[in-house]
Each structure stands twice: as structure tokens, then as C-alpha cells.
Amino acid sequence: MKICVVGTGYVGLVTAVTLAAKRHEVVCVDIDKEKVDRINRAETPIFEEQLPELLKSTVNAKTLSATTDLKTAIQNAEICIVCVGTPSLPNGDIDLTQVEGAAKQIGEALKEKKGFLSIVFRSTVTPGTTENIFSAVLQAFSGKKPREHFSICYSPEFLREGRAIKDALAPDKLVIGREDTIAANNWKMVSSVGCPIIETDFKTAELIKYANNAFLATKISFANELGNLAKSIGINSYAVADAIGFDPRIGKQYLRAGLGFGGSCFPKDIKALVAFAKKNNYEPKILSAVLKTNDSQVERFVHLAEKKAGSLSGKKIAVLGTAFKEGTDDIRESQAIKVIGLLLSKGAKVCAYDPKAIESTKKELGNKIEYAGSIQDCLKDAELCLICTEWPEFRIIDFSGMKNKVVIDGKHILEKKNGIDYEGLCW
């Protein structure tokens, strides 16, 4: 089928390449000309496993191309998939500017379109948005009626950065909110996934996405509470988490205690859900606590650093890992960046190393810190080492170049601890 994907962030691009790999004719649309040119040259704008290979093969096979011309892309498409960003407003509420703007432009383009268009919205949005904004804006700007000229469905994504291609090709579920079956059926057909399909109304599908992320974030904050408590009485919380994980009602995943969660999704989505609940006159006690526990892990980490190394002022501190997790160059809402901010406020001299995220860190922090090209350079003459991201290469490190071999592990990653003064955040 002929598909256009609006928005080429990691969700849009991953959706586009996996559909193009299934031999659909896919056109990516983005307002960023530089990004569009890069995609057409088969250069991936983000670091994501398997993406370079798939982008190359689909661009070469001419099943994938990119453009800034949304109008023409819509004229030629049978399905339009919307994957633009929904960031946070300063009060935590969701910022719908980009999705609203995309809906307006698609509506305008629909006015002159010959033929039917199925529209799949994938951006994470609070319940009611598909009906009150997407559907209403499309009708107002196109002057056309749903079901006669176009059909909408809402299908949230559950892709994890670092393994987004695998998740897109083999999802655990396909959730589809719909009012009619046309767009939903087309979306099921092009996705061609062999997983359970949940078809429901728009609002339920919208809440499923938030509930999924909120539950996982809650598990992490629970693990962190348990970790903080266990450490205070000299127990390794990982042994406790491992044991309870055997209970299938609990499960082993997302129980790794440490520095807490970051990224472009969990913090933003939980804040948006809290703000949404409050707007609907409900005070969400658990969700607010999930955020509070997550924030306090950063403070506990730096506090532990002070406890071990004394005043941090003027001391060289090696920070290993700035990405919000392993397998990505993304530093959005990274706990590591918050740790660095707190270290700087205490007068520390920070030197950071990350295998993939140094460029994005430089863009964020500029010359406030030093950047190392290797783990060894980062550790050289440091008085303290803080491990902030669970990169596998941090498992076995030679700390001999440090001035004082004091290491605090925020991610429970270090395996070899010979000859160092080691302490974990929650164990």
C-alpha cells in the first residue's frame, strides 16, 4: 500500500522503515529539510540498533523516501500515519501544538485529495484528544466527512529505544482505538503482526498507552523504594527483587533498582497523566509518588557521593554514562544529566564519558564539563567515579588510573570490584 508517515522521530522513522521493509511504498514527511535529506541519503539521524541496515536497504529498494512536501505525500497516500512529538508543557501538561498542527495540515491537504485516506494517529495523547482534536480539526480543515472521505484510528506505540525495530516487528500487542473499521482494518493489514489485537474506542486506546508506561514506571519506583529501604538495613535488594520476580503476578522485569527512570517517555507521560487526572478532579497519589521517588534517587546518589568523598568542590568526578539508558544516544530526561547538574552546583569538576551520547551531551551541557574519548581518559586522576548508565562495557573496568579508587554504581552494572572502594546506590 502507499503510506505516508508524518514525523520522523524515532517512532516515525522506525514505523516507516519496518513498513517499507514489508514492501509497502513509504514516504516520510518532516518539516526538517536536513533530516529529510539525510534519510534520502540513507543516513540515520538517530542511533538505533538495526536502523542503519534497514534504512539503507529500503532506500536502495526505493520503498522508502522522504520529503518536506506533506500535501503531495497526502495526495499520493492511501494511509497516513502520524508520529509527531507530544512534549511536556512547563506545568507537566501535554503540549499538543505539533499534533494539532499536523492534523490541520493533513486536513488542508485532504480538501483537494482524490480518493479515500485512512489516518492512523500514533503520538501519545491524553484521553479525548483523538476525538476532540484530531477528528474535529480534520473535519473542520478538510470540509469532508469521516467514513465518506477519510477514516481515523488511534494506535499507540510501545517501542523501546535501543530495540525499537525488534519491538515494531514483533510487538506484544496491537492496540487500536476506532469509531469505524476502515482505517483500523487497513492498519491491521499493513502492520501484519501476529500478536493479540485489542480493538476499542479512542479514549480507551489513549489511556492504555499511559497505563502501560505508568505501570512500568511504578514498578521501577517501587524497586527503588525497596532498594533504599533494603540498603538502610544492610540487605541486597536485588536478591529480594529476584525472588519476588518468580511470582508470575509480579514478573522480573522493570525491578532493577538504582538511579531511576529517564527518557523522552516515562517522565513526560507520568507528568501528563498526573496533570490530566487533576484536570478531571482526581488527585493521583501513587503516580505523584512515583515521580517523587524517581527525583529523589538523583539526590540520594549525589548525597552518597558526598558521604564517600567529602566535599565535592574542586574534585574531578568521572561520570560514566550520560544516555538515559544503554543502547541509545538519547539524553532526554536522563538521570545522569540531572546528577551532573547537581555535581556542578556543588563545585565539582565533571568529566563524562558515554559510548554513544557524547555529541548529544555536548549540545546540552557545552563547556560546563569535560568530555573524555574513552573510559580510561575519563577515570584518569578522578577522585570519584559515578556509574550512571547501564552500558555493558562498564561491567569490567580497570580503575587503576584514578587518584582515589572510589566508585558509586547507580545502575548495578559493575561485576569486577577488586581493589576499589565500591558502593551501590540501593545495595
Residues acting as catalytic residues: 265
Q: Least CB distance from residue 314 to ligand UGA, whole Å?
A: 30
Q: Which three cell numbers stand for residue 108?
A: 488542508
- The CA distance from 314 to 43, in Å, is 41
Q: Which three cell numbers stand for residue 354?
A: 558515554
Query: Among residues 160, 166, 203, 362, which is the contact residue for ligand UGA, using CB under 6 A?
Result: 160
Residues 288-317 that bind ligand UGA (CB under 6 A): none
> H or E stretch including 156?
none
| 225 contacts ligand UGA (rule: CB under 6 A) | no
Asked whether 206 and 156 are in contact (CB, 8 A), the reply is yes
Q: Give the pairing type, strands 79-82 and 421-424.
A: unpaired
Query: Among residues 86, 129, 150, 157, which is the contact residue for ligand UGA, using CB under 6 A?
Result: 157
Q: Residue 116's closest CA among 72, 77, 172, 60? A: 77
What residues have CB less than 8 Å from 94, skipping those under 6 apart?
86, 87, 88, 124, 125, 126, 272, 275, 276
- The CA distance from 45 to 57, in Å, is 16
Q: Least CB distance from residue 249 to ligand UGA, whole Å?
A: 17
Minimum CB distance to ligand UGA smaller for 202 or for 261: 261
Query: Among residues 105, 135, 151, 213, which is the contact residue for ligand UGA, using CB under 6 A?
Result: 213
Query: Among residues 325, 338, 356, 412, which is the contact residue for ligand UGA, using CB under 6 A?
Result: 325
| 141 contacts ligand UGA (rule: CB under 6 A) | no
What residues have CB less than 8 Å from 372, skipping those under 6 apart?
318, 351, 352, 353, 378
Minimum CB distance to ligand UGA smaller for 151 or for 361: 361
Asked whether 182 and 118 are in contact (CB, 8 A), the reply is yes
Q: Least CB distance from residue 213 to ligand UGA, whole Å?
A: 5
Minimum CB distance to ligand UGA smaller for 30 or for 48: 48
Query: Among residues 78, 158, 277, 380, which is the contact residue for ligand UGA, using CB under 6 A?
Result: 158
Minimum CB distance to ligand UGA smaller for 150 or for 210: 210
Residues 255-274 that bind ligand UGA (CB under 6 A): 255-256, 258, 260-263, 265-266
Terminal-to-terminal C-alpha distance of the chain: 53
Minimum CB distance to ligand UGA smaller for 316 or for 325: 325
Note the residues at the interface with ligand UGA (CB under 6 A).
Answer: 124, 157-161, 213, 216, 220, 254-256, 258, 260-263, 265-266, 324-325
